[in-house]
Structure 1
């Protein structure tokens, strides 16, 4: 835990030093007030006889209180700022790290978990850095100063008052271990609940249409009930800690009134000293009562750090920084795949081999579940290719930096994703094109190649139209074409298209295919589709079945062979006719 926090806190050491000095001054001023009260009580009878009222002592108490208020406020500013700064930095680092992790990480971890880490866990660390540090220093100082002055008043009385403390702290230690365990379990259940909520809310339309509300409600209630149970167990342990710690102050006053009362009757303790002693005990009240809460925050913070460290120690982050130079020219690549096999729980690609010369095109055909999308993900770098299986321009991809590989690649997945921004921002990742003629020219060019230019111009604000969450204002075919335009806009030498024309009518599909193969895109192309009319334009075609290469060749050569490709070609031709 300490090494993790140290890397973030070391740059703010002067804030903690300033806060610590302010806390020393605050507690010193606090300790002086009971001494002033003792002076007033012990000397008031003598002063009243001589008709002199201790004005200086009262004025001193007022000034001490004002000074304490000012310094205490400043100490909180100094202590809480690092907490907010660390919260910002940790959240930024987690986001950057998560965005750089491979697809295998996201198969094991849900979006709900990531949300919980980014919000709940980071907030717990902020509370630990700010509040826990503040109260730890404050409690240490108030106990140190008050015990010293109690010792000065009467060491015997101080030892009697403090005698129950070791036993109570031992009980608190035992309870804090239980609290740590239940806190971690509660946070895990919160992650499950967050994941469940996100999953159900993202599919609310389907849930209503399918009539599965009762089933979904049952699942949600079960997970919510489990979280409630684990959280209540944690609360019970925390309540027990509050009770044990609260006893310290109560027992202290009980001992003071019993033992101190006898000392008053024997005149071994003055009334002023008795009152000052009582004030010092009262100074313990809040630090002591908050101790259970601080221990709870500390345990929450520790559990959150462990959870975040489990993410950060995952596979080394991949450097994903795509070139921002939209006018950069990238040459077509030579792609070779040799004996590529890939597995999840079972093998999904088996000894696949092919080669695509620079500027040429490869079509990939196969039924559902044949491994086409997995092959696309491997070529796009989403899934890590086994060593010495994929080569670009004669070099295996593992010898390339991820940044270099991403800079020469454009990929449009089967499930398109659009940001809830304007059309222009979705294609170019730039806020506006109006002040950049070169950008505007390329933007309109790729929109034309993707056959979406005319439809964009009919929108309310054209390329500046906000398209809603995930492109909700566009049809499925329009979303696919905007995604295609985005891929074409980015400089690339290799273009991978995974069934991106499936939602289009035959006329629009034909226009895009003609544009892609008519000289508008000179990159090396990998086109995955179940439509043989598209694949017929490719220089070479690969037929997959259950992860294996069933056949490969040109469109004409595959039509001469008995097999899946020829049967599908005949069937689709019959449907069109």
Structure 2
């Protein structure tokens, strides 16, 4: 329950509507309780000398108050239920925005399906609490309050007998409510597991089919689905038992009322109309008492859901944002400097990936980074846009510490093509133009020409309007890489990072593409990670990494002359090419 207090800021945004809803709840219940008074008066009129005018008048007043009660109930829903949708809108935006700020480490350990489950199922449970939960809680409280006041005014003795089951009711709500919360949390966790399994299977459906593992995956889904079904059934049985118990308790509370009331009428201390009015009040308590079970279920589900949401919201971004203003006239050329940079991944303090990296890269230069797998190449370039923070040392951009730059400013200067290509389920044009500051179709064509993609796209029936499947499945590996490179070029960055982004294209296309980059982007600093010497040999400078340290640095000719690691790699690739040509 305490977790629901984190929703207070959202409720305060709409306090005017909440106060209006609160006021309308009072009015709807006040008028609802006033109405039965005229039923009693009409019955008493009929027990005495029958006067049609009085009976019709009392009946008309009853209907009037019933209509007023219904009208204000409509206004209650228009305020409180609408507010719940507004807060749901705000929560979803805040949840999505927060996910955008979380570090890579978080996504390395958290499944996509789990995040989807929390952003849909859990948020919906919270929305039900903010809407029906709050509305029926207020309605139940004031209905009970006004009805009890009217009942006590009629007969304190009858009220006492009507409230005899109250202690048992309170105890039942407490015990069953805590059980509902535990079962609700377990259900939401099962739903997250199902969502994750579905997401993984749909994303990897080609792998599943390739290995003919459909039956295995179906069995996994059926097992999770059966578990989810059993947990829901268990909760449903508990809720049904609770509602049946509350309904029976309400019905039994009428028995002593009718008995004691009948005796009072015989004794002359109450009228028949008064007893009828009192029974109406007791009946009016039926729905509030029954709704206690429903509201309890909503609150418990929301509390469990909010716990899961707070687990995400409580995760702070690891990258500390700098809010300092940047001079709009300040220009960045793309010069990079690494000063004694050291980095290790979480839990691997004794095995740093980078050790004492010191490196200067001139603005507009084309620098290649080579080395064996695990030497730290990708980690090094990932530090530039602050996807990770170095443990020690400083990275400078045009002589300025990148930690002093706002993240948005820093990352807008960088075009990044990672090892794992990602394309959206959209047109090729929109994928290349994604996030572009100019949104110019001519820039898309120009970027695709530089990336050697234009001719391929022109062969498609719909050209640049071709819709891509999930992650660009209807493109080849090389086309996907070139589309991602075109997107980075269209971004017009001062610094372009290609992290093994040419591995899926043939050697000839790779050479032509890199020549186009050198020709069309003469002022752009390019960092190229590649395993092919045929590509990196044309760079201004080649950095060779070994075990997280700079082992060699120089031009292609200089490194061959030194005859160390780079020369070994070069000779090895020459030998492989000769073997392939012979075979």
TM-score, normalising length: structure 1: 0.91
Judged with a 3 Å threshold, the aligned counterparts in structure 2 of structure 1 residues 39 and 499 are, in CA distance, closer, same or farther, namely same
Q: Secondary structure at the match of 1:277?
A: helix
Task: Name 2:34's counterpart in structure 1.
Answer: 32
Name the CA distance, whole Å, in 2 between partners of 1:466 and 1:213. Answer: 28
Q: Secondary structure at the match of 1:383?
A: coil
Query: Contact (CA 8 Å) 2:545, 2:551: kept in 1 or not?
Result: yes
Query: Contact (CA 8 Å) 2:341, 2:392: kept in 1 or not?
Result: no
The question of 1:113 aligning with 2:108 is answered no
The match for 2:370 among 365, 371, 379 is: 365
1:157-196 aligned within 5 A: 157-196=158-197
Q: Secondary structure at the match of 2:383?
A: helix
Deviation string, structure 1 residues 131-171 (Cα, Å, up to 9, x no partner):
11110111111111111111111101101211220232022
Which stretch shows the higher mean deviation, 487-496 or 441-450?
A: 441-450
1:432 CA displacement: 12
Name the CA distance, whole Å, in 1 between partners of 2:33 and 2:118. Answer: 42
Task: Name 2:543's counterpart in structure 1.
Answer: 542
Name the CA distance, whole Å, in 2 between partners of 1:165 and 1:514. Answer: 84
1:77 CA displacement: 0.9
Judged with a 3 Å threshold, the aligned counterparts in structure 2 of structure 1 residues 571 and 230 are, in CA distance, closer, same or farther, namely farther
| CA RMSD, Structure 1 to Structure 2 (Å) | 2.8
Name the CA distance, whole Å, in 1 between partners of 2:410 and 2:474. Answer: 33
The match for 1:565 among 569, 577, 582 is: 569
1:307-346 aligned within 5 A: 307-316=308-317, 330-336=332-338, 338-346=340-348
Judged with a 3 Å threshold, the aligned counterparts in structure 2 of structure 1 residues 83 and 90 are, in CA distance, closer, same or farther, namely same
Q: Secondary structure at the match of 2:542?
A: strand
Task: Name 1:325's counterpart in structure 2.
Answer: none
Which stretch shows the higher mean deviation, 184-193 or 394-403?
A: 394-403
Q: Secondary structure at the match of 1:379?
A: coil
Query: Contact (CA 8 Å) 2:342, 2:352: kept in 1 or not?
Result: no
Which stretch shows the higher mean deviation, 443-452 or 390-399?
A: 390-399
Q: Secondary structure at the match of 1:388?
A: strand
The match for 2:43 among 28, 41, 50 is: 41
Judged with a 3 Å threshold, the aligned counterparts in structure 2 of structure 1 residues 556 and 431 are, in CA distance, closer, same or farther, namely closer
Which stretch shows the higher mean deviation, 148-157 or 395-404?
A: 395-404
1:167-566 aligned within 5 A: 167-316=168-317, 330-336=332-338, 338-346=340-348, 347=351, 349-351=353-355, 353=357, 354-429=359-434, 439-518=440-519, 520-560=521-561, 561-563=563-565, 564-566=568-570
Q: Secondary structure at the match of 2:509?
A: helix
- Runs of 5+ unmatched residues, structure 2: 324-329
Judged with a 3 Å threshold, the aligned counterparts in structure 2 of structure 1 residues 335 and 477 are, in CA distance, closer, same or farther, namely same
Task: Name 2:6's counterpart in structure 1.
Answer: 4
1:238 CA displacement: 3.1
1:550 CA displacement: 4.6
Task: Name 2:128's counterpart in structure 1.
Answer: 127
Deviation string, structure 1 residues 149-199 (Cα, Å, up to 9, x no partner):
111111011012112202320221122222222222222222122112211
Matched residue count? 568
Q: Secondary structure at the match of 1:343?
A: coil
